Structure 1
Amino acid sequence: MDTTQQRYTDLPIGDRAAFELVCARHGFAPAHFEITGSADPDDIDHHRRLVTVRRGGWAQSYRADEAGYWVRQFETDLTCRFFK
């Protein structure tokens, strides 16, 4: 399994653009968060990755796929004020 940590700038451009839009809608900038990505340890085929978003003392990991569903989950957490 690949244990290389990815940073925000290593994520696919579509994911970054969607993340930036979600942040802007909720009054944040991507710089307000620390974002890292790594291989999903539960994925046998090693096609998925985990994206972890941190802000202050709060952190949440999302399973990332090709459709960018993790960004929608992140927006749900912002709406629920998880990161505030």
Structure 2
Amino acid sequence: METTLFRYIDLPIGDRAAFELVCARRGFAPAHFDISASAAPGEPAHERVVTVRRGGWSQSYRDRDGQWVRQFEADLTCRFFK
């Protein structure tokens, strides 16, 4: 099964805006992170996996209709990416 890879700019505008807001709230800029997403062909967009990297740290989130941004913010709050 082939997987399609997406970059940050390929994500829905709502997800990008939410991500940028979370970054600003926590003192980061979106440029501090490398974001990619992948989805298997035929799967709904909300089933993709979003991976966020910063330095030597990385975390993957199942999209679930934008829930990945909330999970990412929880990780920022816990200082996972610092």
Count residues in correspondence.
Answer: 79
Give 1 or 2: higher helix fraction. 2
Q: CA RMSD in A?
A: 1.3
Structure 2 gaps, min length 5: none
Which position in structure 1 is the counterpart of 2:21? 21
Q: State the TM-score, normalizing by the size of structure 2.
A: 0.90
Which position in structure 1 is the counterpart of 2:43? 46
Structure 1 gaps, min length 5: none
Distance in 2 of aligned mates of 1:26 and 1:2: 36
- Could you tell me which amino acid in structure 2 is paired with residue 52 of structure 1? T
Question: Which string of whole-angstrom CA distances, capped at 9 and with x for unpartnered residues, describes residues 29-83 of structure 1?
Answer: 100000000016xxxx6121000000000000000022x1110000000000000
Q: State the TM-score, normalizing by the size of structure 1.
A: 0.88
Identity %: 75
Distance in 2 of aligned mates of 1:78 and 1:22: 9
